[in-house]
A and B are shown apart, each in its own frame.
Chain A
Amino acid sequence: MSPTDHQPKQLKDDPAKDRLVRKSERMDEFVSLLGQTERQLFIYLKSRMPCSSDADDLLQETNVILWREFDSFKQGTNFTAWAYRIAENQVRAARKRQQRDRLVFSESFLDAISKELTAESERLERRSVALGDCVQRLPPHHRELIERRYQSGDAVDRLAEHLRKSPDAVYRILSRIRHTLHDCVTSSLAKGEC
């Protein structure tokens, strides 16, 4: 057998090759752009809907739509801005679904936050970078708690059970840790560490 026989679906003489290559290149481009934006997109969605895990699902839905609509994205324009617009539509649709049975923020409030997030995006990025370091500086038991809260997604009640503390006590500790992290990040940026 010849060396090239092994290549899966060799396209050398296939008339559809060019089209497939273009599609492949387009997919590569999309994935690359999404790779650069996806984290910001998630943080944007989560910042808009902080009290639920809907941001995870919204990110997935948004990604699917972004790929579906990718043909309408003009090369050379701002992919992140385009993605934010599509994400925003997902947030609004989700809010409508939620309004029936859940607590949600008002439209005007969300608009104001959205503007602030966009206007302050660079500064907030710097805060995110410093946050990783601040988490590492937490005392071990605090770091473990914050890991369980955010990595395992354990709710306060479950954390309380695990730590044999009351839910209120755990709630207060988490509050303190968030406060500590916020101060740490602010002070890191002030010192120009990041």
Chain B
Amino acid sequence: MSTEHESSDLSDLCDAVFEDRATPEQVQQLEELVLSSPDLKRQYVELVHQHASLSWSVVEGEPLDTPPKSVADASSIPIVGLNSKVTSAQTGRRAYWPVGAIAIAATVIITLLTPLFWVDGGGSDKTVASLASTKNCLWRATDLPTANGSRLFSGRMTLVEGLATIRFDHGVDVNVEAPADFEIVATDQICLNFGRLVATAERGAEGFTVRTPTAKLIDQGTEFGVVVGDDGVSDVVVFDGLVEAQIDVTGDSRFLETGERIRISSANVTSLDEGDDRIPGKIRQGVATDKNTIQISTALGRGQDAYIQRQLFADAQHTSATLLLLKNSLGERTAQQRYAKGFDRKAYLRFDLSLIDDHEVKAADLALHFAPTGFGFASRLPDATFAVYGLADDQLDDWPERDLNWENAPGNNVGNTEVRDEVAVLLGRFVVPQGQASGIFGVRGLPLRDFIRSDTNGLLTMVVVRETASVSLGGLVHGFASHRHPELPPPTLRVTTTDKTK
């Protein structure tokens, strides 16, 4: 049996060894102690194993809030869930961190612009609201997580079915009813592009603003409803309290009291009768009904699409003929990581702009139809952030669809996830929530519009990369439909224009 004194001595000696402070005498003393009793040997092995387990988190890059694992699966999963607040700059010694998880928080910057209006303040790395509750919700093309309780950054959401309550940090609950298309802008601001909502402010939450295409509606301690139609015309009804309506067309402010209802269009303001409660139509599915919008896919004209794979292993089998695959994995330290890295993939898209030669581009968005790839496990990857880059040099638009590879792909940063800074511009980012393999995702906004405007040769090349990395083997492979997909639409650029010749 060991004594308490010996046990304490052993702990001290272990500390000296772990911190590289032990003298030869201390090492000898430790050896003698450990070999003198089974209890002390056991204690030493426990302590050194603990030290090693803590060190493992450094090598492997354990996700932040990994719950304690069962013993059954402990062998295949790294153990210690240290809560990492460490940035890459701080991880001086090694660089194998769960940057996937960190990247979500650091890089969810949404660049959005609607054809009708733009509100500054979008694009933040801070959450501004929570998704307090959802009822029968079906989301489409959302930039933000849609799980109940999710914290929300600024970004755009499209609700196809159901009822969602968004709780803004300013102290306002907003119930959004489908169909609706809206943007969360800040802790105290929402833009309703289309659809209907009811805002309920707590006492002290005055100043909360609902922006519509034709007005700014500023809460002065109240509950009010807003309906925005296809045409941007906005109806406001005050259920209780006071709302200030700043009307775009007149530049005036009007204060609306309980029971008041008005309609604000881009031409005028009218009072509404009780019961004149119009219902917005279906969410606009595309461009067919809009004569000023042109839809250009990679299947059109000189358009093309392909994906490239790092492919360290020439015999890699995980390919797709119909989907453009996307993957990014972390680290190259271990054999496992290097193997996984061979499956990194990026997608290349080219659009033929000759259709819009005579038009001035007002706005644009890129829509990608995601579908399950069958490769990897969703549970091995958190919400995934994707970035879309445009190749700014027109000379780079001439790339071979059939023989495109990691080495010859224009602008590819062969050693990294991204494309080369000097030839690419970031057009926007979007997030695909964990577990969601299907849906329409994409980007829109000023950078995309300006990128199209700056084109000189009638061809536009974009590169889609996944910024969120899998931290270990088995991470999900994402994919969206190419122009060879038998059912899903190809990558599509929707461009809203005005005719230059008019």
Residues of A within 8 A of B (CB): 1, 3-9, 11, 20-21, 23-24, 27, 30-32, 34-40, 42-47, 50-53, 55-56, 59-60, 63-64, 66-67, 103, 105-106, 108-109, 112-113, 116-117, 120, 124-133, 135-136, 143-144, 146-148, 150-156, 171, 174-175, 178-179, 181-182, 185-186, 194
Residues of B within 8 A of A (CB): 11-12, 14-15, 17-24, 27, 31, 34-35, 41-42, 44-60, 66, 68-71, 74-86, 90-94, 97, 306, 309, 311, 313-317, 319-322, 333-336, 339-340, 401-402, 405, 472-474, 482, 484
Task: Choose among B24, B50, B313, B335 the residue with the greatest number of A CB atoms under 10 Å from its CB.
Answer: B335
- Residue numbers in B under 8 Å from A136 (CB-CB): 81, 83
Q: Shortest beta-carbon distance, A183 to chain B, in Å?
A: 11
Cβ contact within 8 Å between B22 and A46:
no
Cβ contact within 8 Å between B24 and A103:
yes
- Residue numbers in A under 8 Å from B85 (CB-CB): 144, 147
Given contacts A24-B317, A38-B336, A63-B334, A151 and B68 within 8 Å (CB-CB): no
Instruction: Give A125 to B365 CA distance when docked, in angstroms.
Output: 51
Instruction: Give A147 to B14 CA distance when docked, in angstroms.
Output: 19
Given contacts A124-B45, A129-B68, A51 and B80 within 8 Å (CB-CB): no
Cβ contact within 8 Å between A31 and B58:
no
Q: Shortest beta-carbon distance, A17 to chain B, in Å?
A: 9
Cβ contact within 8 Å between A174 and B473:
no
Q: Shortest beta-carbon distance, B254 to chain A, in Å?
A: 50
Cβ contact within 8 Å between A46 and B55:
yes
Instruction: Give A101 to B387 CA distance when docked, in angstroms.
Output: 50
Q: Which 6 A-B pairs have the closest CB atoms?
A: A153-B93, A46-B52, A20-B315, A63-B335, A43-B52, A24-B315
Q: Shortest beta-carbon distance, A141 to chain B, in Å?
A: 13
- Residue numbers in A under 8 Å from B334 (CB-CB): 34, 38, 59-60, 63
Q: What residue in chain A is nearest B19 (Cβ atoms)?
A: A156
Instruction: Give A64 to B52 CA distance when docked, in angstroms.
Output: 21
Cβ contact within 8 Å between B34 and A175:
no
- Residue numbers in B under 8 Å from A116 (CB-CB): 41-42, 45
Instruction: Give A103 to B31 CA distance when docked, in angstroms.
Output: 13
Given contacts A38-B334, A52-B20, A127 and B55 within 8 Å (CB-CB): no
Candidates B51, B77, B80, B405; contact of A50 at CB < 8 Å: B51
Q: What residue in chain A is nearest B78 (Cβ atoms)?
A: A39
Candidates B92, B94, B321; contact of A56 at CB < 8 Å: B94
Instruction: Give A155 to B20 CA distance when docked, in angstroms.
Output: 9
- Residue numbers in B under 8 Å from A31 (CB-CB): 335-336, 339-340, 473
Ordered by A's residue number, 6 sampled pairs between the chains whose C-beta atoms are within 8 Å are A31-B339, A35-B474, A55-B52, A56-B94, A127-B50, A154-B93
Cβ contact within 8 Å between B31 and A105:
yes
- Residue numbers in A under 8 Å from B52 (CB-CB): 42-47, 50, 55
Instruction: Give A50 to B58 CA distance when docked, in angstroms.
Output: 14
Cβ contact within 8 Å between A128 and B80:
yes
Q: Shortest beta-carbon distance, B54 to chain A, in Å?
A: 4
- Residue numbers in B under 8 Å from A179 (CB-CB): 11
Cβ contact within 8 Å between A194 and B68:
yes
